[in-house]
Chains A and B, each alone.
Chain A
Amino acid sequence: MNNLNSLQYFLPELFLSASILIIIIVDLLLKKDKKIITAYLSVLAVLVAFFLAYRQYNYAFTSLFEGMIVLDSFAVYFKVLTALSTIIVIFISMPAFRRHSEYYILLLVVTLGMFLMVEVNDLLMIIIAMEMVGIISYVLAGFNKFNMKSNEASLKYVLYGAASTGVMAFGFSYIYGLTGHTNLFAIQQAIVGHSLQPLPVFIAFVMVVAGLGYKIAMVPFHFWVPDVYEGAPTPITAFLSVGPKAAGIALFIRFLITVVAHPASQTTFIQNVQIQAPLLLAVLAVVTMTLGNVSALGQKNIKRMLGYSAIAHVGYMMMALVVFNTRGFTAIMFYMVVYMFMNFGAFWVVQSMTPHLGSEDISAYKGLGYRHPLTAVAMAVFMLSLTGIPPFAGFIGKVYLFAAIIKQNWYTLAVIGVINGVISLYYYAYVIKVMFLDRDEEIKAISVPLYDRVLLWLLLIPVLALGVYWGPLIDLAHNSIGFFFGN
């Protein structure tokens, strides 16, 4: 479709872009103590974008802007998901960032970037979208300007990001050189049509995986994660572990499905590229989750612990990537939603409790179960859900992930996944133990504002509800991936 006609299918992104400009202007007119209004406007903007994106669900597959971007239900699913994550993170940030309107504007820009990331269909657009998300993320990670850790995190993020984007771009140049196309479909056609030299294709593929792996924090491209997660402001840490990661996974799936493998039928994939992609992904998944879990074991800082656990969760999700079929992708998409709620929940507890506890160390949570029972119980639910214990949503998510790989007889992988679950129980349960079993002689009750409690409930309810009634969501996910498989 040509550029002009494409605009009508580009409404959510156009609306977001316009909102960003308007909010910047509104920000100029606001007095210093009224800056919080921009936060409300941002929520409104993302909310509208959310609904605009949702309305595009079930549109027939459309290729926009001369093939640079595609619109399908898969993209819409992730757009809705990332928009939701932005809304939640704005609410999480509001109590702490009351005067920083640019913070919210930057979040909107990231959202726009994430929207693009999930629908790109062209190598150039991939770079543009990823950099749009990446560069703003660097700024956000260093947003606490007077905090050395935050600055360090930002700088490391920049350097690491630059290196991996460079590698990925280099990989893209290989692909372009080999096929003569930047459009993903055209690349696929070229790979299928001409029997290319396997080695350069393979090296290009690994380079692209390096770039994408950096975005989703996959081992061995995860080095930035602990430092950045610890140094960045807590809401940003939460956001980075959900929103951009979801977009990254969406991009990863799209790249795998369109370029590496060719969807020939419902259940099996015929590979275009002559490499053992499933085995490679399986090894990476195992390494990722094991490393994440094992490193999280001895952490004293709760944010760093959650950062490592975020790596482990990427590993779980990659596990289902291995099987390359509807079931696996559906499981990942479902898990992403569940993970969003429980992870945001855990981070929100950290964010709202840090001022009361005075520290981000796990030991500071001592006796929280007696000081503010609601928060402690909610935190326990999030921890158990992250471990994957019924009846919480995390359990259902893991059931689908494991079911997908067991169906395809990846038993060893499943066993390693379960062992990893056991390891993770140790450090998640440790938080619960500290909150409930350790207590001070005298209990100093914490009073939590209504806003904090309401937000806590809003994050807690989906974790509980999706643990008992998840049918519609799994259907939605299944329906969204259906396009790639011709149904």
Chain B
Amino acid sequence: MIKLALFIWLLPLAAFVINILIGKRLPRKGDWLSVGAIGISFILSLIMLYRVLVDYDPNFLVQGSVPWIDLGVLKLNMGLYLDNLAVIIVTAVSTVSFLVHVYSIGYMEGDPLYNRFFAYLSLFSFSMLGLVMWDNLFGIYMMWELVGICSYLLIGFYFTKDSAANAGKKAFIVNRVGDFGFLIGLLIVISTVGSFNLTTIHQAVGQGVLHGGLLTAAGILLFAGAVGKSAQFPLHVWLPDAMEGPTPVSALIHAATMVAAGVYLMARLNFMLTFDAMLVVAYVGGFTSLFAATIAITQNDIKRVLAYSTISQLGYMIMAMGVGAYVAGFFHLVTHAMFKAGLFLGSGSVIHAMHHSMEKTGIHGDPNDMRQMGGFRKKMPYTHITFVIFSLALSGIPFFSGFLSKDAILGGTLAFAMSQSNPIHYLLPTFGFVAAIITAFYMFRLIINTFYGKPKNESLFKHIHESPKVMTIPLMALAFLSLYFIYTIPSISPAGPEGGWFTHLIERPISAVATQLGHPVLFIPEHTEHAAHVNGMLISIIFALTGILLAYLFYYWKKIDVEKFTQRIKPLYALSFNKYYMDELYQATVVSGLLLWNQMLAWFDLHVIDGIVNGSAWVVRNFSFMDGWIDKYIVDGLVNLVANMTLAFGKSVRKIETGQIQNYILGAVLGAFFIIILTMI
């Protein structure tokens, strides 16, 4: 098992090394190498998943590690930690990654940096797989930064474009903020527990080595890392800009895998979250889910809608981790990875078609703009059908995977609110349910604007055509993976995942905090959970259908005039359209604040420090002649003396190499005598 995992992990690394060094000279620019490596990883991960399914043991765990750095005080191991969680997420990552690799062959065709793109994809796959398999936080942190770098490189892949280069920098810098919290959290853990190993931390927290306020602080600081990486409020601003990267990258990194790393981290560290830390997590997630959804309504860039939708869905998962709906949150991570990757690849297919059409017609415009689309249904049948399937899954319609997981999250949140005495916690399910309506609404707004109605730009429409098979087949594969029964086998009930393999294999880990305190961190009675689940399911179906209905009213049947309606709620519309002015806010506060600070420092430098310097300069000038003299003849003299002495010593020592063998032997004999005398004394 460990060997298998090692192959899965290291094959993409090998592909990266070869591709980045000599990829350009390989036939087909080395794409087969990257695709092949991740393909084998994908197959091996299926074998691994198969073994886990055969085992069917919720407590399955394989660990293996080798010593890496031994500095006496600090011992670090390199190791893998394979439990059901890791195996399932490895499979999900390798699946999406493989499909995206295949898709990229079509999408990136003819790009001048084709080989580098594949090399980066391989490096990313390696880092992401490592992130989910390492057995200690140090390794996770390392891989965490590596995926961050890959993300930076790939967002700025079209680096000649200013906006892309800036988006890359923005992603990197905003992530630094979160990662700084992560780092401090790590330092708290290492300074109290003395180890980064997950199992050791679990035991130490259980024994109360790390407790009380510090434990809460550690939990929240580690969560800060997740806030950055998973684009949660208030660090979400980088993700929409990250859409500057090539679309396959958006699908793989900024929708399915890397951004879910924060959720993964929260799942891994769920055992060490105190009640207070969980509340912070839940509220950040819940607020983000609603906040991002309201922005998605008004965006016109097809990828930006999806980006905000991703932020909103990640908010759901984070919220689930916070309210103790661990299984639901992780479940949504997996299902979301599939259908959101699909949505991005589908949008990529549309953009690809638009791009080619624009090239042919000579129209210069934004290929991502929905206002240029419409009626693509007939021209791109495969893209259309799969896109609808993904959207239904995302909206939470029964018979699709998204329904199961989203419903589980909403049910879990409702159960949490019902079990708490403080009614204010009903805010959390409210965030969730309102976001659910909005999600359904904006997804169908997107579909209707893109695929239905009349073409808004006839000349562009003429040249729209379906993408090649290498792009549509991954779409179909992902669509298949968005059907509900994949996750409920052996049960085929569409009502919930209970009885399926997934809920059997994933169990909420025993909370170390609960062991430490002697009572559960949060207690949700079973009947509450059941009631919440049934109610939650009904509400979420009704809300999702309402959202779809509204979208049809607005955009398909046009019963409500969008323009007029917009005018009526203009301030709200402007707020959403401008993303609540978050970018402007940061620009005005953080960025200008920093710049202002810099200016202040510069002023201080110029007037105060330089003043002092100038004032003292004339004093110094008087001494400088003498000083110079000392420097030249005494200090330099000393330095040069040492150097010259060393050189001269070398010279004189070398003189014993006379080239005369007689002298050599004489030297040796004298040396031997010297040794004897030395030791006799």
Chain A residues near B (Cβ < 8 Å): 155-156, 159-160, 163-164, 167, 202-203, 206-207, 209-210, 214, 219-221, 223-224, 226-227, 275-276, 279-280, 283-284, 291, 294-298, 423, 469, 471-472, 475
B672 near A207: Cβ-Cβ < 8 Å: yes
Q: Which residues of B contact A167 (CB under 8 A)?
A: 672
Which B residues from 42 to 96 make CB contacts under 8 A with A?
66-70
B656 near A223: Cβ-Cβ < 8 Å: yes
Q: Sort A-B residue pairs by CB-CB distance and give the 4 closest, nearest first.
A: A220-B671, A223-B664, A294-B650, A297-B650
Is residue B678 contacting chain A, with contact meaning CB distance below 8 A? yes
Distance between Cα atoms of A268 and B667 in the complex (Å): 34
Q: A206-B672, A275-B679, A294-B649 are in contact. Are A226 and B657 (CB under 8 A)?
A: yes
CB distance from B644 to the nearest CB of A (A): 11
B653 near A163: Cβ-Cβ < 8 Å: no
Is residue B647 contacting chain A, with contact meaning CB distance below 8 A? yes
Distance between Cα atoms of A220 and B673 in the complex (Å): 10
B654 near A209: Cβ-Cβ < 8 Å: no
Distance between Cα atoms of A279 and B663 in the complex (Å): 27
Distance between Cα atoms of A298 and B652 in the complex (Å): 11
CB distance from A273 to the nearest CB of B (A): 11
B646 near A297: Cβ-Cβ < 8 Å: yes
Distance between Cα atoms of A41 and B516 in the complex (Å): 67
CB distance from B575 to the nearest CB of A (A): 51
Q: A164-B668, A219-B671, A471-B66 are in contact. Are A298 and B647 (CB under 8 A)?
A: yes
Which B residues from 220 to 268 make CB contacts under 8 A with A?
none
9 A-B contact pairs sorted by A residue (CB < 8 Å):
A155-B661, A160-B668, A167-B672, A206-B676, A214-B668, A221-B671, A280-B675, A295-B654, A469-B68
In the complex, which residue of chain A has the Cβ closest to the Cβ of B21? Answer: A457
Distance between Cα atoms of A280 and B676 in the complex (Å): 9
Distance between Cα atoms of A275 and B679 in the complex (Å): 7
A280 near B678: Cβ-Cβ < 8 Å: yes
Q: Which residues of B contact A275 (CB under 8 A)?
A: 679
Distance between Cα atoms of A135 and B667 in the complex (Å): 22
A223 near B676: Cβ-Cβ < 8 Å: no
A227 near B665: Cβ-Cβ < 8 Å: no
Is residue B565 contacting chain A, with contact meaning CB distance below 8 A? no
Q: Which residues of B contact A471 (CB under 8 A)?
A: 66-70
Q: A295-B653, A298-B651, A471-B66 are in contact. Are A280 and B668 (CB under 8 A)?
A: no
A160 near B654: Cβ-Cβ < 8 Å: no
Distance between Cα atoms of A280 and B672 in the complex (Å): 12
A227 near B668: Cβ-Cβ < 8 Å: no
CB distance from A272 to the nearest CB of B (A): 15
Is residue B674 contacting chain A, with contact meaning CB distance below 8 A? yes
Is residue B659 contacting chain A, with contact meaning CB distance below 8 A? yes
Q: Which of A155, A295, A296, A298 has the most CB of B within 10 A?
A: A295
Distance between Cα atoms of A280 and B680 in the complex (Å): 10
A206 near B650: Cβ-Cβ < 8 Å: no
B647 near A156: Cβ-Cβ < 8 Å: no
Is residue B601 contacting chain A, with contact meaning CB distance below 8 A? no
Is residue B1 contacting chain A, with contact meaning CB distance below 8 A? no
A284 near B675: Cβ-Cβ < 8 Å: yes
Distance between Cα atoms of A262 and B82 in the complex (Å): 48
Distance between Cα atoms of A401 and B670 in the complex (Å): 30
In the complex, which residue of chain B has the Cβ closest to the Cβ of A160? Answer: B664
* Interface SS of A by simple majority: helix
CB distance from A445 to the nearest CB of B (A): 18
Q: Which residues of B contact A159 (CB under 8 A)?
A: 661, 665
Q: Which residues of A contact B66 (CB under 8 A)?
A: 471-472
CB distance from A330 to the nearest CB of B (A): 12
Q: Which residues of A contact B651 (CB under 8 A)?
A: 298
In the complex, which residue of chain A has the Cβ closest to the Cβ of B68? Answer: A471
Q: Which residues of A contact B674 (CB under 8 A)?
A: 220
Q: Which residues of A contact B676 (CB under 8 A)?
A: 202-203, 206
Sample of 6 more A-B contacts, CB < 8 Å, known A159-B665, A223-B656, A298-B650: A221-B671, A223-B664, A227-B657, A280-B678, A298-B654, A471-B70
CB distance from A9 to the nearest CB of B (A): 31
B668 near A210: Cβ-Cβ < 8 Å: yes
CB distance from B655 to the nearest CB of A (A): 10
Q: A298-B651, A423-B646 are in contact. Are A210 and B672 (CB under 8 A)?
A: yes
B661 near A156: Cβ-Cβ < 8 Å: yes
Q: Which residues of A contact B675 (CB under 8 A)?
A: 206, 209, 220, 280, 284
A280 near B671: Cβ-Cβ < 8 Å: no
Q: Which of A220, A276, A298 has the most CB of B within 10 A?
A: A220
In the complex, which residue of chain B has the Cβ closest to the Cβ of A280? Answer: B679
Distance between Cα atoms of A206 and B675 in the complex (Å): 8
Q: A163-B668, A223-B656, A227-B657 are in contact. Are A283 and B678 (CB under 8 A)?
A: yes
Distance between Cα atoms of A159 and B674 in the complex (Å): 22
Q: A220-B671, A297-B647, A472-B66 are in contact. Are A291 and B664 (CB under 8 A)?
A: no
CB distance from B54 to the nearest CB of A (A): 33
B68 near A291: Cβ-Cβ < 8 Å: no
B679 near A276: Cβ-Cβ < 8 Å: yes
Q: Which of B68, B650, B661, B668 contacts A221 (CB 8 A)?
A: B668
Distance between Cα atoms of A156 and B661 in the complex (Å): 6
Q: Which residues of A contact B668 (CB under 8 A)?
A: 160, 163-164, 210, 214, 220-221, 223
Distance between Cα atoms of A160 and B668 in the complex (Å): 9
Distance between Cα atoms of A164 and B667 in the complex (Å): 12
Q: Which residues of B contact A221 (CB under 8 A)?
A: 668, 671
Distance between Cα atoms of A423 and B68 in the complex (Å): 32
CB distance from A448 to the nearest CB of B (A): 15
A202 near B661: Cβ-Cβ < 8 Å: no
In the complex, which residue of chain B has the Cβ closest to the Cβ of A297? Answer: B650
CB distance from A50 to the nearest CB of B (A): 24
Distance between Cα atoms of A203 and B647 in the complex (Å): 35
B70 near A227: Cβ-Cβ < 8 Å: no
CB distance from B664 to the nearest CB of A (A): 4
Q: Which residues of A contact B667 (CB under 8 A)?
A: 220, 223
In the complex, which residue of chain B has the Cβ closest to the Cβ of A226? Answer: B657
Q: Which residues of B contact A160 (CB under 8 A)?
A: 661, 664-665, 668
CB distance from A216 to the nearest CB of B (A): 14
Q: Which residues of B contact A163 (CB under 8 A)?
A: 665, 668
CB distance from B525 to the nearest CB of A (A): 51
Q: Which residues of A contact B680 (CB under 8 A)?
A: 202
CB distance from B451 to the nearest CB of A (A): 52
Q: Which residues of A contact B68 (CB under 8 A)?
A: 469, 471
Q: Which residues of A contact B69 (CB under 8 A)?
A: 471
In the complex, which residue of chain B has the Cβ closest to the Cβ of A164? Answer: B668
CB distance from A7 to the nearest CB of B (A): 37
